[in-house]
Amino acid sequence: MKNIVILISGGGSNMAAIIRCAQRESWLESFGARVAAVISNRADAGGLALAREHRIATDVVDHRRFATREAFDTELSVAIERHQPSLVVLAGFMRILTPQFVQRYQGRLLNIHPSLLPAFPGLHTHQRAIDAGCRFAGATVHQVTPELDHGPILERAVVPVLPDDTAETLAARVLVQEHQIYPRAIAALLPGLSGCAP
């Protein structure tokens, strides 16, 4: 079995898109893959209820309980390892992970970022693209490396920046594309992943 563990901090719209795609395209039958668990650093993350509706295991590792980022990441790894992950997917997980955590899951840790990397790593990407006069923005799926919002690029979507765009209107159009490219990037990796014993 190829288990996918998704990490979220909020509503989980990308998580939902991945779950829908896994069901629609029968990842279990085609690749022996499934979304095995959804873990959040926030107990009030809306995506947890959605995961439970799909009978997916959920867990919460509250970052506020830990004095250091390293301690949090250690406990997060314990929660992840309960599900024997083949792939760990960051879907709106708003925590910067330590290099040790990233190295542990090297090659199996994915993120989606709402810009055309390497442009605009970090936060407030849509406003920064508008302020810079960019004609195009978009989203990037990439493997996670210790350097923030870097790593091998797996998928991109390009969205035009319209003359009357605000950060909110641009973000909404980019999000539509995120929901398409993230599941597609994951599906492309599934044939080459190794699984755990059923």
Domain ranges of the chain: 2-192
Residue 111 has pLDDT above 60, yes or no: yes
- The dihedrals phi and psi of 145, each to the nearest 5 degrees, come to -125, 170
- List, for residues 5-37, the tens digit of each pLDDT value: 999 999 999 999 999 999 999 999 999 999 999
DSSP annotation of 67: S
Q: Is the dihedral of CA 70, 72, 78, 84 positive or negative?
A: negative
135 band by pLDDT with thresholds 50, 70 and 90: very high
- List, for residues 149-176, the tens digit of each pLDDT value: 999 999 999 999 999 999 999 999 999 9
CA distance 198 to 195: 8
Q: Which residues are catalytic?
A: 113
Q: Which residues contact 138 (CB under 8 A, 6 or more apart)?
A: 114, 115, 116, 156, 157, 158, 159, 174, 177
CATH of 2-192, one of 3.40.50.360, 3.40.50.170, 3.40.630.10, 3.40.718.10: 3.40.50.170
